[in-house]
Amino acid sequence: MDVTILVADDHLSDIDGVAAALREAGLRVTGTLPSTGVITGAVGDEAGLESIAAVDGVAAVEPAQQVEIPPPDEPVQ
Amino acid sequence: MEIDAAFPPDGTTGRSLVLFEEGAANAGLEAVQEAVGVQVVTSSGENDAPAEGGGVLFKSLGVAVVDAPPEQLLQVAGDSAILAIEPERIVYALELTQYEGTTTNGQPALVPAPTSMPVTTRADAGGRSFEYLRGYRDAVLHLTDPVASDGAAAADVVTVAVDESQATWGLQATKVVNCCRSGKGIRLAVLDTGFDLEHPDFAGRPVKARSFIAGEQVQDGHGHGTHCIGTALGAKCPGVRPRYGIAYEADIYAGKVLSNAGSGADTGILAGIEWAVQSKCAVVSMSLGARVRPGQPFSQVFERVARRAQEQGTLIVAAAGNDSTRPGDIWPVSHPANCPSIMAVAALDVQGAIAPFSNRGINPDGGQVDIAGPGVDVYSSWPMPARYRRISGTSMATPHVAGIAALYAEADPSVRGAALGRALAGGAQRLSLPSSDVGAGMVQAPL
């Protein structure tokens, strides 16, 4: 399951440290975004979500949503 | 009673439209026939073009088309049975027949009637072609609408006369065509399906591009991204008229966060936003979204990211979504436009009516529509060889707002982030529609 993780304001300066702690908690990190304070990654299951939410410096964890636009030939895009 | 002399003769047919007082068409017609010596016949609905030296009366509209210029009708202008006399215009009929959405009773169209020589659709001198009749009907409606005080005459109108020969209706309705700004010095990111890097209308324009889709290049294999970039950033004088682009000197940042098949995910979108913030883009345009259920909360991650972006000088605008089928089925603003710190953009048509597909601000705690833009029948660039295409959607309204945001950003270097959003809302044209549908109203270019 792909997830997006919001890094807390007081941990923004140590986003790499938060990412390392998340790896230890079972997250496969796919991106670290220092300007906006986000870490993206993947976990195996719902239980994995709970363990990464408990990591110090994590303000929020959300399942990544899919977005979709219609095929090119549709009149409404 | 007045004679409208505002339109140049070269945009007219030489005939006149005469509007009669209700119930006085016969009396008015007699006066006209006597004055100019023409025979006016009543419309049969089949062959409605006036014969040479004659005229046609549209009885249900109370309008006659007379084969004589307005100057020859001056002597009957004071007749009590006659409300108005205008030259018959050559008009371009902008089809909206696919979207018979809410009409705005009595509300004037957002685009003025043509004041220069428009593209003519008149196909033959006999004037019996469908296109001629359609344009002809539009001209009649243009004359009757302002007089019809209850708007009844306009209620079933699905076409409006707009001259798009020089600029799209959207650039006219937003007053971009009157604006001296170009977006020069402003960086604008469009996060979408990429960009046709070979498009001739953008030859010589510097483009920064990055793909956030694994295994796909920035080159747009869909078309959506090229259309959105065209609206926000297209040329002032494209190879082929009309003009369709807004911030023609802004720096193009094309981020591919949707695949050529049109799908993407939060992870790639967030990476695209990060890239835009790091690149110091003043504006991020996101014509994308996922459906939101009534009562569903907005994303805490995207909300905080949007606020952090604003604090670093980047405003994010996003499409309100196309999930609705009005009037019966109306959905909330999509994710991520439903975040309070992301500007949600609804779609309007050329008449200023809400597009039938456009979502509404339904959910509490954010989730509102902030502003509206042109989003029905929008002409813009499309990957070659097609070059151009007309499509509709809140996706098309969004880059109108983003491009205009770049104009505001250029006008005042101190206006960035949340302040830029407030400037856009403050400058919008108020509409007689619920703010839950259109927010502050139709986005307008700075003066």
pLDDT tens-place string over residues B16-73:
777 888 788 888 888 888 888 877 777 665 555 566 677 877 776 677 778 888 888 8
Cα angle vertex B403, ends B400, B407, to 5°? 130
Architecture of domain B2-161 in CATH?
A: 2-Layer Sandwich (3.30)
Q: Residue B5: which pLDDT band, with cuts at 50, 70 and 90?
A: very low
Residue B124 has pLDDT above 80, yes or no: no
Q: Name the residue type at position B22.
A: E
Q: Name the residue type at position A68.
A: E
B354: which strand partners? B348
Q: Name the residue type at position B262.
A: G
Which residues does chain B have within 8 Å of residue A2's beta carbon, measured at their own beta carbons? 265-267
Give Rg (Cα) of chain B: 24
Structure tokens given for B223: 């078309």
Looking at the annotation, which residues of B are catalytic?
192, 224, 395
pLDDT in tens, B91-104: 433 223 333 333 34
Tell me if A70 is assigned to some domain: no
Look-up of token digits 């606020």? B307
Write a three-state SS string for B185-243. Answer: CCEEEEEECCECCCCHHHCCCCEEEEECCCCCCCECCCCHHHHHHHHHHCCCCCCCCCE
Q: With b meaning 16 or more CB within 10 Å and e meaning fewer, what string describes B414-445?
A: ebbbebbbebbeebbbebebeebbbbbbbbbb
Tell me if A41 is assigned to some domain: yes
Query: For an interface test with A, which of B270, B275, B338, B377 has the most A Cβ atoms less than 10 Å from its Cβ?
Result: B270
This model of the complex carries an ipTM of 0.94
pLDDT for B203: 96
d(CA B157, CA B109): 11
pLDDT for B165: 95
Element (H, E) at A23: helix A15-24
Q: Residue B112: which pLDDT band, with cuts at 50, 70 and 90?
A: low
Residue pair A7/A58 in contact by the 8 Å Cβ criterion: yes
Chain A residues 14-73 with a CB less than 8 Å from chain B: 30-31, 33-38, 40, 59-60, 62, 64-72
Question: Worst-scoring range by mean pLDDT, B119-123, B182-186, B244-248, B329-333?
Answer: B119-123
Q: Are strands B82-89 and B12-20 parallel, antiparallel or unpaired?
A: antiparallel
- Enumerate the H helices of B296-393 as residue ranges: 300-311
Within an 8 Å CB–CB cutoff, is residue B326 touching chain A? no
Residue A10 has pLDDT above 90, yes or no: yes
Coil, strand or helix: which one is B271? Answer: helix
The mean pLDDT value for B218-237 works out to 98
**Residue count (chain B):** 447
The mean pLDDT value for B181-187 works out to 98
pLDDT in tens, B239-296: 899 999 999 999 999 999 999 999 999 999 999 999 999 999 999 999 999 999 999 9
Q: What CATH number should be reported for the domain holding residue A9?
A: 3.30.70
The fraction of chain B above a pLDDT of 90, given in percent, is 63
Residue pair B345/B394 in contact by the 8 Å Cβ criterion: yes
Residue pair B74/B14 in contact by the 8 Å Cβ criterion: no
Q: Considering only the beta carbons, identify the residue of B258, B335, B392 that sits closest to A69.
A: B258
Tell me if A15 is assigned to some domain: yes
**Where are chain B's structural domains?**
2-161, 169-438
Furthest C-alpha separation in chain A: 48
Q: Write out the residue range of the structural domain in which residue A58 sits.
A: 2-63
Chain B residues 10-49 with a CB less than 8 Å from chain A: none
Cα separation values, B185 from B282, B309, B407, Å: 10, 19, 10
Class of domain B169-438: alpha beta
CB contact under 8 A, A67 and B269: yes
Confidence (pTM): 0.72
DSSP annotation string for B121-165 = ----TT--SHHHHHHHHHHHHHHHTTT-TTSGGGTT--EEE---S
First to last CA, chain B: 34
Distance from CA of A49 to the nearest CA of B (A): 15
For residues B368 and B134, the model is more confident at: B368
Residue B142 has pLDDT above 90, yes or no: no
The overall average pLDDT reported for chain B is 83
Which residues does chain B have within 8 Å of residue A71's beta carbon, measured at their own beta carbons? 262
d(CA B440, CA B398): 14
The mean pLDDT value for B127-152 works out to 48
pLDDT in tens, A17-76: 999 999 999 999 999 999 999 999 999 888 889 999 999 999 999 999 999 999 999 999
The DSSP letter of residue B113 is P
Q: How many other β-carbons are positioned within 10 Å of the β-carbon of residue B193? A: 34
**Structural domain count of chain A:** 1
For residues B315 and B123, the model is more confident at: B315
Q: Residue B109: which pLDDT band, with cuts at 50, 70 and 90?
A: low
pLDDT in tens, B331-374: 999 999 999 999 999 999 999 999 999 999 999 887 999 999 99
pLDDT for B238: 97
Cα angle vertex B214, ends B210, B220, to 5°? 55
Express the helix, strand and coil content of chain B in percent, nearest 5 each: 25, 25, 50
For residues B3 and B307, the model is more confident at: B307
pLDDT for B110: 64
CB contact under 8 A, A77 and B290: no
Residue B310 has pLDDT above 50, yes or no: yes
Residue B197 has pLDDT above 70, yes or no: yes
Residue B122 has pLDDT above 70, yes or no: no
pLDDT for B121: 33
Tell me if A74 is assigned to some domain: no
Closest chain A residue to the Cα of B279, Cα to Cα: A35
